[in-house]
Structure 1
Amino acid sequence: MQQHPINGQNKILIVEDQFIEANNLQEMLEQAGYSISGIARSVSGALNMIDMDRPDMVLVDIFLKGPLTGIDLAKTLRQRNIPFIYLSANSNKQTLDAAKATRPYGFLVKPFRESDVITMMDIASYLHTNSLETQAYEDKQKSSSTSQPRLANIIGNSEKLRTVLHQVQLVAPTDTSVLVLGESGTGKEMIADSVHQFSRRKSQPLVKVNCAALPSELIDSMLFGHEKGAFTGAHEKRIGKFEQAHGGTIFLDEIGEICPLSQAKLLRVLQEKQVERIGGNETIRVNVRIIAATSRNLEQEVANGKFRLDLYYRLNVFPLTVPSLRERMDDIPLLAEHFAQVHANKTGKPIKGIEEKALKQLQQYHWPGNIRELEHCIERAVLQSDGTMIRQFKTPDSPATTQQGTTRIKTMEENEREHIINVLRACEGKIFGKGGAAEILGMNVSTLNFRIKKLGIDKEKILRSPG
């Protein structure tokens, strides 16, 4: 059987008050090549064992009986920089929230399966090693007097954006897996581009896969490739995305959309660093860095049983949360001027800038579609402009004007109808898929189609009208 020592060290402390479960864990780990330094039944017993013989990893039950719980022990382990994995009988949201607060290196749900235990040990080792590498890099950067390079194509100077960009510069030079989180339209793909841009792999391929756009029956072929004749329609051999990214980086956009079966296959590739094409017998080694992104709450998806816990921990090594546009309103003038010039150059319009009053108007809107919605709004304004300055924008919360010239407050339904119409125009009627109206609005396709019908929106008519 393959040995799984933690970076050459393998002393494991089990903290579990259930005798049978503790002994089952011990047997699984010893068969895999680990050495068990002891089994503790309480927090006080565990601390005594740690003082006598510091372990390389601790497996600790969250809900130990007694005055102190596994969470109490975890806080001490964090202080002493000892990696730990939580053990629990369930993986509901309350348990995951408790786990998240103490930042564990893994999570095992009872009853334990040997394959899950060994996989989680590998993940915990990987997380701990890379956290040390990242800390060393951060310390080096703090002691360096050189200025940080600017990340290309990312515009803004707000505090929340600067925090994310600092994290990008910390993690980019390592090979650590990165999970980019954030609402639709916030620029997650550009963050992924920046991680690759400042990595050691920047001269190698950055291969992008939009998981949301791939039917479940095709995603395995797209990721891992297939041989000629592997299935109906496989008229020639296809090299999968992982092979294409060998030596470089693979960006798995909207990773939360892939089905459970493909999640299992993806996890195996990440663990073993090798792929097999569909219909083939050859094992192909791949050396890729993983960057994944999602607009879903993966922790909630795990709690709902829709996303694998072990895959979540494999991906969530270094999370980067991209702020929504609502959280960085100070960046809107810079973004607006940039988009105005981009689209002026594309259309040949003589736009020189945006009036201050119009910029303030942009900062008063809440931008549910984030930067993507902002760009579409400015593109429309450029197309409709007949001068050198943009004087106003049409946003869904703009006041309606009566025949007498006075203004009135629009109803919620009027605002919603106008907002959906504006987004449909910006997307040229595209409903689903990347850049579609459903993605920009953060709605399910079925929900959006229902709202379009209920609000009496004639898609074909609005696309023919100037807007």
Structure 2
Amino acid sequence: MKEKILIVEDEFIVANDLKIMLQKAGYQVVGIASSVVQARKLIEDKSPDWVLLDIMLKGTLTGIDLAWELREMNLPFLYISANTNQSTLEAVKATHPYGFMVKPFREKDLIVMLDIARYRYDQEKGTLVENPIQAETQEIEGIVGQSPLLQEVIEKIKIVAPAETSVLILGESGTGKERVAHSIHALSSNKSNPIVIVNCAALPQSLIESELFGHEKGAFTGANALRIGKFEQANNGTIFLDEIGELPLDSQVKLLRVLQEKEIQRLGGNKTIKINVRIVAATNRSLEKEVAEGRFRLDLYYRLNVFPIQLPTLKERKEDIEALAYHFLKKYATSSKRNITSISQTALEQLKNYDWPGNIRELEHLIERNVLLAKTTEIEKFDLPSNTISDPLEINIGKIKSMEEMEKDHIMNALQLCDGKVSGPGGAAELLKMQPQTLYSKMKKLGIKQGYN
């Protein structure tokens, strides 16, 4: 028997539809509450494992009010709401839900979101059940390395690839975001259909809509023929939206509508075209910061951020450098028909001691260049820029705690004095003279687990 779920939703038809979907998937629905007061009673009587939570409810209290109580009870929840008002979504974000579904949605989207929410919750609590494939080193074609951080990425790819849900790949430039997108597509049920790559940063603003959704002949001056857009090209496959943070706000609105309605209209046309496309997006920006500064829509962020995959920088996985270097050596020695077979130990040490601001892409270009320049069958040394890691000022500063580290220590000391209690009389929030919501946000930001003692 799967988990027990409480539905908190004031519209009976919506709540009943949810109940039918959940029961069909094997979940046990322990009740439906239309208000916070009813929800409290059902939580006490039925002890649900999860709560599905609407925002606007009957009575004076909202789902957001209940969410703070659920946090205090360590009871996981996710929102299901049509409310995408910016200020409301900011309040939602502060409660740190394990998921957010924007109505309307498909049944399979709900079930996938629950699976992902459970994964996030287990990961946060440190109770993630070991997957049998984790016992051995995992590999995916084209992704090279054995480091623990890379193995976490591979595990997430294998979890999400068959699910058809949206994925947001985060990481610095050159960390391999497009390679991960290809791997997700290759392991999906739609792998025989196309994956279409779109570099959002390279799209001229005046042509974004035409590029993504296509246009009819005569739609605008110069539109001399019908054009099929990227979404139609990717139908029944995957579209990879690289540098999604570069899309202007008006284009974000159109993209959100496509994600919600699963349909497009070509520019200059009046025909609605149904599409079935898996969205994988990527960015090297902090989308949360972009949202806070008004450059990215929060409702679109929630739509895309169903399953985030954070890629480590190359300097965070230096144990993979030698394997990557030989991978690229073999690739470019073969393509250039040069008999270069090894890298000297001195050259390998150079690679391992370098800071890699350009990540894997920089390493690849370096190996390609040196394969062409090598005078023997071995690359003897590399011409690398000065390494910023050895800056003595940085080493000295490293001995001093940052303000963030000091703040974390202070909060953890307060939690210890309060036996892990966050809010209410005698809680850490009261001791620190701050609102519980503010303290929860700081704990999340600083990586302090709830219930610390």
TM-score surpassing 0.5? yes
For 1:334 and 1:296, the matched residues in 2 are separated by: 28
Question: In the comparison of the two structures, how many residue pairs are matched?
Answer: 358
- Match for residue 70 of structure 2 among 50, 74, 79: 74
Residue 458 of structure 1 is matched in structure 2 by none
For 1:340 and 1:104, the matched residues in 2 are separated by: 43
For 2:133 and 2:387, the matched residues in 1 are separated by: 49
Amino acid paired to 1:212: A
Instruction: Please report how far the alpha carbon of residue 289 of structure 1 lies from its aligned counterpart in structure 2 after TM superposition.
Output: 0.9
For 2:89 and 2:350, the matched residues in 1 are separated by: 40
| SS of corresponding position for 2:309 | strand
Amino acid paired to 2:310: T
Contact 1:133–1:174 (CA<8 Å) still a contact in 2?
A: no
Distance 1:297 1:216, change over 3 A: same
| SS of corresponding position for 1:386 | coil
Residue 379 of structure 2 is matched in structure 1 by 390
Does residue 165 of structure 1 match 2:147?
Answer: no
Distance 1:38 1:70, change over 3 A: closer
1:264-283 equivalences under 5 Å are 264-283=253-272
For 2:322 and 2:147, the matched residues in 1 are separated by: 11
Residue 229 of structure 2 is matched in structure 1 by 240
Structure 1 gap ranges (5+): 1-8, 14-25, 107-119, 400-408, 413-467
- Match for residue 53 of structure 2 among 43, 55, 58: 58
Contact 2:77–2:98 (CA<8 Å) still a contact in 1?
A: no
For 2:266 and 2:379, the matched residues in 1 are separated by: 54
- Match for residue 129 of structure 1 among 111, 118, 126: 111
Contact 1:227–1:234 (CA<8 Å) still a contact in 2?
A: yes
Distance 1:160 1:235, change over 3 A: same
- Match for residue 351 of structure 2 among 362, 372, 396: 362
Instruction: Please report how far the alpha carbon of residue 124 of structure 1 lies from its aligned counterpart in structure 2 after TM superposition.
Output: 11
| SS of corresponding position for 1:252 | strand
1:24-39 equivalences under 5 Å are 37-39=33-35
- Match for residue 100 of structure 2 among 71, 95, 105: 105
Contact 2:172–2:284 (CA<8 Å) still a contact in 1?
A: yes
Amino acid paired to 1:273: K
Does residue 84 of structure 1 match 2:84?
Answer: no
| TM-score (norm: length of structure 2) | 0.69
Q: Which deviates the most, 176-185 or 336-345?
A: 336-345
Residue 402 of structure 1 is matched in structure 2 by none
Q: Which deviations, in whole Å up to 9, do the C-alpha atoms of 1:397-416 show, x marking residues without a partner? A: 169xxxxxxxxx9999xxxx
Residue 373 of structure 1 is matched in structure 2 by 362
Q: Which deviates the most, 377-386 or 311-320?
A: 377-386
Structure 2 gap ranges (5+): 17-31, 123-127, 395-453
Contact 1:93–1:300 (CA<8 Å) still a contact in 2?
A: no
Contact 1:349–1:382 (CA<8 Å) still a contact in 2?
A: yes
1:297-446 equivalences under 5 Å are 297-397=286-386
| TM-score (norm: length of structure 1) | 0.67
| SS of corresponding position for 2:172 | coil
Contact 1:242–1:250 (CA<8 Å) still a contact in 2?
A: yes
For 1:341 and 1:322, the matched residues in 2 are separated by: 24
Distance 1:184 1:360, change over 3 A: same
Distance 1:197 1:371, change over 3 A: same
Q: Which deviations, in whole Å up to 9, do the C-alpha atoms of 1:131-156 show, x marking residues without a partner? A: 344569x9999368997973111111
For 1:145 and 1:330, the matched residues in 2 are separated by: 19
For 2:306 and 2:175, the matched residues in 1 are separated by: 21
For 1:145 and 1:153, the matched residues in 2 are separated by: 19
| SS of corresponding position for 1:222 | helix
Instruction: Please report how far the alpha carbon of residue 164 of structure 1 lies from its aligned counterpart in structure 2 after TM superposition.
Output: 0.4
Instruction: Please report how far the alpha carbon of residue 291 of structure 1 lies from its aligned counterpart in structure 2 after TM superposition.
Output: 0.8
- Match for residue 47 of structure 1 among 8, 21, 40: 40
Residue 16 of structure 1 is matched in structure 2 by none
For 1:57 and 1:77, the matched residues in 2 are separated by: 15
| SS of corresponding position for 2:240 | strand
For 1:160 and 1:144, the matched residues in 2 are separated by: 16
| SS of corresponding position for 1:155 | coil
| SS of corresponding position for 1:239 | coil
Aligned residues with identical type, % of pairs: 44
| SS of corresponding position for 2:163 | coil
Contact 1:325–1:371 (CA<8 Å) still a contact in 2?
A: yes
- Match for residue 182 of structure 2 among 188, 193, 207: 193
For 2:319 and 2:134, the matched residues in 1 are separated by: 28
